[in-house]
Structure 1
Amino acid sequence: MLSYTMIAADTALQTLLQTWKQTGTTTIAMDFEGEFNLHKYGEHLCLIQLFDGSSYYLIDPFSVSVQSMKQLLEDPSLEKIMFDCASDSALVRKQYGIMLEGVYDIRVSALALGYTGNLSSLVERYIPEAEKHSGSNKKKNQMTNWLVRPLKADQIQYALSDVEHLFTLKACLVADLQEKGLQERVEEEMRTVGKSKGPDKPGWEKFSSWKYLSREEKVYLKNFFIARDTLAQKYDVPAVRILEKHLLLEMAKQVPSTDADFHIYCGTCTPRRAAELIDALKQAKKTALSELGHAFG
């Protein structure tokens, strides 16, 4: 069992940051837990896990101000060892306008060395003596509701395990990078890791087949997507509970003509929500037709 300190107030976080400065702590391990449209609408930061090499900390973002989190996450002088920070950096950027600084992403180092596996496989490769967590427990906690308080003991241990070995992994990877002459190249890449490569794409452009769609299909998909997400946001439910992504794509490719056609796609909703969704999708179709310059017919 890993012991930890819960940080649930700005004063506690400020004290921790001040302590690190006084003790010369310049590197920490860090990871996030979030809610990604599993239990409610949207994406939400739910927990920040920290390890300074000797002690573990959990920051509750529901109890700590954005300004205090910003002070931690945007400090370029405090190196934050993470694994695959892309989704985490996007999460805090979109939710809080926070730009992660000072990140050392060990996945970048691993990829430079030809290792494409996840964190567990990297731990197994470099630290075979580390305690293994069962696959079923891992899957259970990945799907858990991190929004609920208080957090359960197994959730907390799962969360802490994600930062437990990051210091050791970084040291092992750096040694391998130096041996293979890749250190300088990787350090250059670290300067931009976690940074947005451009404007964040809207959800409809994240469909894997987006670039293969015709102009008309793209316009329909965009408008159907907005209609679906507007309703999901209204009821604060995961968007897939209103309408699954593959159905949006099917509608964009074969646009329904009648209420009955729309109803085929909305059959999993309650009758009231189905009626509301059909009205929204019909309006979305009209908007798409207008964008495309067609008569409504």
Structure 2
Amino acid sequence: MQVLTDTESIAGFCRRLRDDTWITVDTEFIPERTFWPQLCLVQIAGAGDAAVIDALADGVDLGPVFDLMTDRNILKVFHSGRQDLEIFLHLSGSLPHPVFDTQIAAMACGHGEQVSYARIVEAVTGKAIGKGARITDWSKRPLSRNQIAYALEDVTHLRRVYEHLSSMLASKGRETWVGERMAWLNDPQTYRNDVSHAWTRIRKKPRRPRDLAVLREVAAWRERQAQERNLPRRRIITDDALVAIATSRPQSQEALQGVRLVPRGMAGGSRGRQIVQAVNRAMEIGTDALPRPDDSQAARVPLALADLIRTLINARCEEIGVAQALIASSDEIRRFAATPPGDSPLACGWRYDLLGRDIERLRDGTVALSLEKGTLRLVPLP
């Protein structure tokens, strides 16, 4: 089992992989302690060579790894690779490319939505991956043999999985079905952290537009603080505290000190002043420019129609063995079914041929759903 801890051996390993047409890649990282995940290991496997690279080794330079990741002649295969790709982008300034994600491919091959690595490996190879090192502190050294073996399995078995899924995609003619998602993974805009959208990640939002505007401003402030200080968002201030600020709208530090869940030390200091400034910015926004509750689009789709559409989509996806998430998200489906329709991937291409046209007919009342011998069918209406 190769564990590479110095730049020279890492560079040599990466050179040996330059003749490969595709490699499998995974990372181990710690996401909880910092805003930007702490990279601990990089695992790579080629046709005849595999290694674990210690990203925390003293004086190690990951430049050869980053160069390999951007070699356009080598396909990089990940499983559920978005976080891995984001880490490479943050550390090197470039995304690995080209890439292939086996979790996305599995959605088009009958393995369901967000299938785990262990499950897809067992389905393809019949081998069960040990779970002993799944929840471990990858930053601690030295690494045990069990940890190293577990880390290597994340890329060695992935080679069999990739060969199986890529063959299935070709035989079913579904390469284009996953191509858009792969392109999305390779687009830097996918990973762009727009602080003005940070408020949308908060679950228990207020409903009044002015409160939402305040939430948007203070959530953006927290996002900037978390990035600059490289701390988890909750270490800056909690979601519940942001919602409390949004609903009480304190326009002075004295008022902020009275808001539940806001630490008094924070409220009276420089960060409290910045929070109040964010609140005041939100209070100056014109009524027409205020954000709206995120269910406004859903309200334009009658519940009965929404249920019919979900039934149709579930039946069609089960029939052809594809995960619904590959076709469209729930929000995209609602937008397409609304009157008038909103932007949605269902409006064009293979998705329209597969489902979009039938959803239109169902929405317009020209067809009905019928159950015939256990199979759901569309029946034209007179």
> Judging changes above 3 Å, is the alpha-carbon distance between structure 1 residues 226 and 119 closer, same or farther for their aligned structure 2 residues?
same
Inter-partner Cα distance in structure 1 for 2:99 and 2:149: 23
Q: Which of the residues 96, 101, 108 maps onto 2:92?
A: 96
Query: Aligned with 1:165: secondary structure?
Result: helix
Cα displacement (A) at 1:215 = 5.6
Cα displacement (A) at 1:109 = 1.1
What does the per-residue CA deviation read over 1:100-142, in whole Å, with 9 as the maximum and x for residues that have no partner? 11212112211122421221221222222x13323x752x22x
Work out whether residues 223 and 285 of structure 1, in 8 Å CA contact, stay in contact via their aligned partners in 2.
no
> Judging changes above 3 Å, is the alpha-carbon distance between structure 1 residues 74 and 212 closer, same or farther for their aligned structure 2 residues?
farther
Work out whether residues 81 and 106 of structure 1, in 8 Å CA contact, stay in contact via their aligned partners in 2.
yes
Counterpart of 1:51 in structure 2: which amino acid?
A: A
> Judging changes above 3 Å, is the alpha-carbon distance between structure 1 residues 219 and 154 closer, same or farther for their aligned structure 2 residues?
farther
Work out whether residues 3 and 54 of structure 2, in 8 Å CA contact, stay in contact via their aligned partners in 1.
no
Larger Rg: 1 or 2? 2
Q: Which of the residues 9, 14, 19 maps onto 2:16?
A: 19
Inter-partner Cα distance in structure 2 for 1:67 and 1:181: 38
1:105 aligns with 2:96: no
Q: How many residues align?
A: 275
> Judging changes above 3 Å, is the alpha-carbon distance between structure 1 residues 229 and 215 closer, same or farther for their aligned structure 2 residues?
same
Counterpart of 2:277 in structure 1: which amino acid?
A: K
Q: Which protein, 1 or 2, shows the higher relative CO under an 8 Å CA cutoff with sep ≥ 6?
A: 1
Counterpart of 1:276 in structure 2: which amino acid?
A: M
> Judging changes above 3 Å, is the alpha-carbon distance between structure 1 residues 31 and 187 closer, same or farther for their aligned structure 2 residues?
same
Q: Which of the residues 70, 74, 83 maps onto 2:70?
A: 74
Query: Aligned with 1:28: secondary structure?
Result: strand
Inter-partner Cα distance in structure 2 for 1:102 and 1:81: 9
1:1-297 aligned at under 5 Å gives the runs: 3-9=1-7, 11-21=8-18, 24-36=19-31, 38-62=32-56, 63-65=59-61, 67-115=63-111, 116=113, 117-128=115-126, 130-134=127-131, 137-138=133-134, 140-141=135-136, 144=137, 146-186=138-178, 190-191=182-183, 193-197=185-189, 200-203=192-195, 205-206=197-198, 207-208=200-201, 216-225=210-219, 227-228=221-222, 237-256=231-250, 258-262=255-259, 264-266=260-262, 274-276=264-266, 278-279=268-269, 280-290=271-281, 292-293=283-284
> Judging changes above 3 Å, is the alpha-carbon distance between structure 1 residues 79 and 281 closer, same or farther for their aligned structure 2 residues?
same
Gaps in structure 1 of 5+ consecutive residues: 268-273
Q: 4+ runs of 1 displaced by more than 4 Å?
A: 209-215, 226-237
Show the counterpart of 2:357.
Answer: none
Gaps in structure 2 of 5+ consecutive residues: 286-382
Q: TM-score, normalised by structure 2?
A: 0.61
> Judging changes above 3 Å, is the alpha-carbon distance between structure 1 residues 216 and 8 closer, same or farther for their aligned structure 2 residues?
farther
Cα displacement (A) at 1:277 = 5.2
Counterpart of 1:15 in structure 2: which amino acid?
A: G
Counterpart of 2:284 in structure 1: which amino acid?
A: G
Percent identity over paired residues:
20
Inter-partner Cα distance in structure 2 for 1:12 and 1:175: 34
Query: Which segment drifts farther, 92-101 or 178-187?
Result: 178-187
Inter-partner Cα distance in structure 2 for 1:179 and 1:231: 49
> Judging changes above 3 Å, is the alpha-carbon distance between structure 1 residues 147 and 132 closer, same or farther for their aligned structure 2 residues?
closer
Counterpart of 2:129 in structure 1: which amino acid?
A: K
Inter-partner Cα distance in structure 2 for 1:175 and 1:278: 62
Query: Aligned with 2:185: secondary structure?
Result: coil
Inter-partner Cα distance in structure 1 for 2:249 and 2:23: 52
Cα displacement (A) at 1:28 = 1.4
